[in-house]
A and B are shown apart, each in its own frame.
Chain A
Amino acid sequence: MPIAAAGDRALLATYDDISPAMLRARAAAVRRDASVVACVIGHSSLLVVFRDTPDESVLSVDVEESIDPPRVHRIDVVFDGPDLAELLEHAKLTRDEFLARVNRLELIVRYLGFRAGFAYLDGWPSDFALPRRATSRTRVPRGSFAIAGEMAGFYPVDSPGGWNLLGRTDAELWNPEREPPNLFAPGDVIVIHANS
């Protein structure tokens, strides 16, 4: 896999077609090296931050997926978002047909970013994809379930946002006083339970 310098204290490793579970396991293995300060997960990449001079060999470590097994979360979602009507029209579905499709849908966390540990989720059906909204909303409520392109996500805190809002959850996605603060970690599986 290509390894690029990211400044003089870090390396970026980019992977072709890697599963979230394997990416998570690789990051856990790399973090064990004494020369590594941090290993942060991107969409298909790892940023390895070193105490001193970067050393590519830490990325050649043997990895077993069982090193840090992902968790499965059941998340109840009420699908009453302001952009749902647009999606139903675009996909030519009734609300009931949509709910039947998304109930028990499995999404996988690829990586975190944006704000307050926002988790970018894979697995949203491509026939339900909607592009990002042309204008962002200044305030998307905490717990909102949203999609953009073929990615999905839950807004963990109130924030601005440009994704399409389909529903919401009461699950405590983010708590800055909790250890760990994030409910979701890269590689975790989220099973949607659609409440009408």
Chain B
Amino acid sequence: MQIAEVISPGQLTTIVSARDWSRAEHGVTPGGPFDEAAAALANRACGNADDAALLECVLVGPRLRFASRMRVAIFDGELRVDDVDEIDVGRLRNFRAWIAIAGGVDAMVPRYADAPKVLRRGDALGGRAGSPPSVKKEGGLPARPLRRDVIRVLRGPHNSPFQTIDCDVTPQLDRVGIRITPRTKLPQAPADLPSIPMQFGTIQQHADGSLVIMGPDHPVTGGYLQPVTVLSSELWKLAQLAPGERVRLLV
């Protein structure tokens, strides 16, 4: 049933569903939120399952008008929870934020869709208008350092002499991948290797010396060198990489 109307879509608001690896076994990206723990926290605050579908926003959040008063949780560095008729999120504090709505939201695309739905003005958001817990629990995520510009990576799956390196984040970034430019020259990468599967956090080294960090909507397989992979506990930092920032990949 319709639970909300999109009055303004924000900069780029996507309906993200749970990461689904069976999709990868059929050749499409597994998807999932850029920050699983943040999405889970927002979902829980609305009484949803951790992996319920929710909204992922970039830079500027959406304005939504609800059909009836709804419990909404927004994680933008920290969690805010409220019962509202309308939200107008505006400019985010961080680069990405997540909005959960009680009962979850409909994905609006089929299970094996190539890409998730991006909100447009006038869209009708579907959902189940679930009943949230009576107590509102707010707060942040435990054990997250303030420092997010150093990202720990493990060598592999390919062999290479890759060392700790400082990089600049380019404007070419989205849910598929984040292109970063190393500040020092990398050893030459081979151009065309037998394709191997990839994950969120796989880092590709291209022949032109640039690096691309795979995002949640990464292609399933690729033939570029994969010298290092981001540690699973560090993936949340990728969600907040913004153009112009400096990042250190720590081996």
How many residues on A have C-beta within 8 angstroms of the other chain's C-beta atoms? Answer: 40
**A7-B197 CB under 8 A given contacts A112-B26, A113-B222, A119-B27:** no
B122 within 8 A of A: no
What's the least CB distance linking A113 to chain B, in Å?
3
Contact with B22, one of A38, A44, A119 (Cβ below 8 angstroms): A38
Q: Are A38 and B21 in contact (CB under 8 A)?
A: yes
B52-60, B74-82, B92-100, B154-162 - the one binding chain A: B154-162
Taken together as a complex, chains A and B put the C-alpha atoms of A38 and B196 apart, in Å, by 14
Taken together as a complex, chains A and B put the C-alpha atoms of A115 and B222 apart, in Å, by 11
Q: For residue A47, which residues in chain B have a CB less than 8 angstroms away from its CB?
A: 157, 196-199
What's the least CB distance linking A150 to chain B, in Å?
13
Q: For residue B231, which residues in chain A have a CB less than 8 angstroms away from its CB?
A: 7-8
The B189-227 residues at the A interface (CB cut-off 8 A) are 194-199, 201-202, 219-222, 226
Summed over the interface, the residue pairs from A and B with CB atoms below 8 Å come to a total of 119
Q: For residue A45, which residues in chain B have a CB less than 8 angstroms away from its CB?
A: 194, 196-197
Q: For residue A38, which residues in chain B have a CB less than 8 angstroms away from its CB?
A: 21-22, 24-25, 30
A111 within 8 A of B: yes
Residue of A nearest to B193 (CB): A43
Q: Are B156 and A12 in contact (CB under 8 A)?
A: yes
A80-88, A100-108, A174-182, A188-196 - the one binding chain B: A174-182
Q: Are B156 and A116 in contact (CB under 8 A)?
A: no
Q: Are B24 and A40 in contact (CB under 8 A)?
A: yes
Taken together as a complex, chains A and B put the C-alpha atoms of A144 and B14 apart, in Å, by 30
Q: For residue B221, which residues in chain A have a CB less than 8 angstroms away from its CB?
A: 40, 42-43, 111-114
Q: Mark each residue of chain B from 113 to 136: 1 if its CB lies under 8 Å from any CB of chain A, else 0.
A: 110000000000000000000000
The B84-117 residues at the A interface (CB cut-off 8 A) are 109-114
Residue of A nearest to B231 (CB): A8
Q: Are B196 and A180 in contact (CB under 8 A)?
A: no
Q: Are B157 and A113 in contact (CB under 8 A)?
A: no
Q: For residue B197, which residues in chain A have a CB less than 8 angstroms away from its CB?
A: 12, 40-42, 45-47
Q: Are B220 and A113 in contact (CB under 8 A)?
A: yes
B40 within 8 A of A: no
Q: For residue B199, which residues in chain A have a CB less than 8 angstroms away from its CB?
A: 6-7, 10, 47, 49
B184 within 8 A of A: no
What's the least CB distance linking B159 to chain A, in Å?
8
**What would 7 A/B residue contacts be, using CB atoms closer than 8 Å?**
A6-B157, A14-B196, A40-B220, A44-B194, A113-B195, A113-B220, A116-B28
Given A38-B22, A45-B194, 18 additional A-B pairs, CB 8 A: A4-B159, A5-B156, A5-B229, A7-B154, A7-B229, A38-B25, A39-B25, A40-B221, A43-B194, A46-B197, A49-B199, A112-B27, A117-B26, A119-B27, A120-B195, A180-B26, A181-B26, A181-B111
